[in-house]
Amino acid sequence: MRPAHVLAVHLSPVHAFSKSMATAITLLAGLGVQGDAHCGETVQHRSRVARDPTQPNLRQVHLLQAELFEELAGQGHTVRPGDMGENITTRGIDLLALPTGTELRLGAAAVVRITGLRNPCAQIDRFQPGLMAAVLDRAPGGALVRKAGVMAVVLRGGVVAERDGIGVRLPAGPRLPLSPV
């Protein structure tokens, strides 16, 4: 099996649900994806800006594992890289199992720190009816499981392209499970 790698990269200069595929994206330290509508030090998601535009942007980069697409296909959904608004589609890494604060090296230089889970919103069902229920599940104890990817901040900038490798550095100290950001 091939090691963890970037399957595809995406961005959109406007606030849209899906993002267009690119050959490469540039991550900017402390900001996010250059040219993407969600790039900035403070929140850029419209609903969060309406609540408090001074909040730090903990959702600079959205990463989603491609393995979810196969799971969704088994439930009758056709979802391709970029369709769910992610900036980076990965393969070979269980993003949802990583603890908060995990650092991912993407390609030769870029480093992001995972801040938490993407909390799916109603736009998912507008994109494809029933998709919201398909990206949510229940753990054996009844806790809600969100499968729509993880959010991260950029620690070190750099260019990220398909086929780039992904390195993982787990946080020192206690490993806290991911929660929605």
Residue 48, pLDDT > 90, answer: no
Residue 1, pLDDT > 70, answer: no
Domain assignment present for 136: yes
Give me the number of domains the chain comprises: 1
Domain assignment present for 74: yes
Domain assignment present for 174: no
> Mean pLDDT of all residues in the chain?
95
Domain assignment present for 22: yes
pLDDT digits 0-9 by tens, 59-104: 999 999 999 999 999 999 999 999 999 999 999 999 999 999 999 9
Domain assignment present for 181: no
CA distance 150 to 166: 15
pLDDT at 2: 73
Domain of 162?
5-169
